[in-house]
Structures are given as structure tokens and as C-alpha cells.
Amino acid sequence: MHSALLVATGGAIGALGRWAIGSFSASTAFPWATLGINLIGSLLLGGLAAAFSSGSISKDTVLLLGVGFMGAFTTMSTYSFEVVEMGGSGAFGALGAYVVVTSLGCPLLAFLGWRGMSLLIS
């Protein structure tokens, strides 16, 4: 039960954070809010994973921040919907840029988060 409460608490905060950023972002044809959220989330999750693997943070912290907060803050489903929507509207240039930046940028930032945290810890 304790683990479920940590995940639920983190998830509620992460979902509200994503909603707030999306609500207060300028409405444009390009999904800047989702891209930014997923890039930032990848960086933070990489750092969190490095901290956990080194023993610097607890499993409870991972449940709260990694599974809960980051799980709700970042969003594959919204990304997927936006890709389909952009394709349907014929915005193929923007669609290609979005897919490439997300597909390359998120893993790169996760690696940089991991590497940066590893350097800070050591």
C-alpha cells in the first residue's frame, strides 16, 4: 500500500505539471509543450536512474519521482496522437522534425542525465 501511495502521489503531481505546462503554453501547430516535457523528463529520469543505481536514493524515491511523477509528466500517448494528427493535416515537414527530435533527443538527454548525475555522485 505504501508503494501505491508513493506512485499515486507522484503521478498526481506529474499529471498536474504536464497539464499546467500544456495549458499555459502558446497554442501552435507544432507541439512544443509535449516535446519539451518529454525532453526534460528524459533528462531527469536518466539522472534519477543513475542516482538509484549508485545507491544515492531509495526505492521509495524512485517510486515517487520516477514511476509516479515522471510516468505521469512525460507522455508517449500524447506524442503518438500528435504524430497521427500532424500526418493527417499534411504537416509532413513538422512531423518529420518532431519524430526525429523526439526519437534522438529523448534517449540522448536520458544518457546525459545519467552521465551528469554519475559525475556529480562520484
Question: Which pairs from 119-122 meet CB under 8 Å and 24+ separation?
Answer: 121/50, 121/51, 121/54, 121/56, 122/54
Q: How far apart are CA 3 and CA 7, in angstroms?
A: 6
pLDDT of residue 24: 85
pLDDT(11) > 90: yes
What confidence tens digit (pLDDT) does each residue in 21-38 have? 989 887 888 999 999 999
pLDDT over 90 percentage in the chain: 93
pLDDT for res 26: 77
The alpha carbon dihedral of 34, 66, 19, 112 has a sign of negative
- Domain ranges within the chain, ordered by starting residue: 2-121
pLDDT attached to residue 28: 83
Q: Which triple of cell numbers denotes residue 92? A: 509532413
Q: How many residues does the chain have?
A: 122
From 14, 66, 74, select the one nearest 38 (Cα to Cα). 74
> Between 22 and 44, whose confidence is greater?
44
Determine the distance from the C-alpha atom of residue 41 to the mean position of all C-alpha atoms in its chain, rounded to a whole number: 3
Residue 89 makes CB contacts below 8 A (sequence gap 6+) with: none
Query: Would you say residue 73 has pLDDT above 80?
Result: yes
Number of H helices, E strands in the chain: 6, 0
